[in-house]
Amino acid sequence: MSPVFGLRSKLTMKEMIAKALSESDFLWISANDIQEAVSVIKGSEVAMTSISPTLSVLKKEGIILRDGLKIALASRVKNNETPHDERSKGASKNHR
Asked whether the whole model's pTM tops 0.85, one would answer no
Total number of domains in the chain: 1
Residue 94 lies in a domain: no
Residue 92 lies in a domain: no
| pLDDT at res. 9 | 59
| pLDDT at res. 90 | 46
| pLDDT at res. 10 | 84
Alpha carbons within 13 angstroms on the beta-carbon side of residue 9 total 0
Residue 72, SS3? strand
Q: Which domain holds residue 27?
A: 8-83
Residue 30 lies in a domain: yes
Residues of the chain with pLDDT under 50: 1-6, 84-96
- Picking from 74, 79, 77, 71, the residue whose alpha carbon sits closest to that of residue 32 is 71
d(CA 28, CA 67): 8
Give me the helix-helix angle, 31-42 and 48-60, nearest 10°: 110
Residue 64 lies in a domain: yes
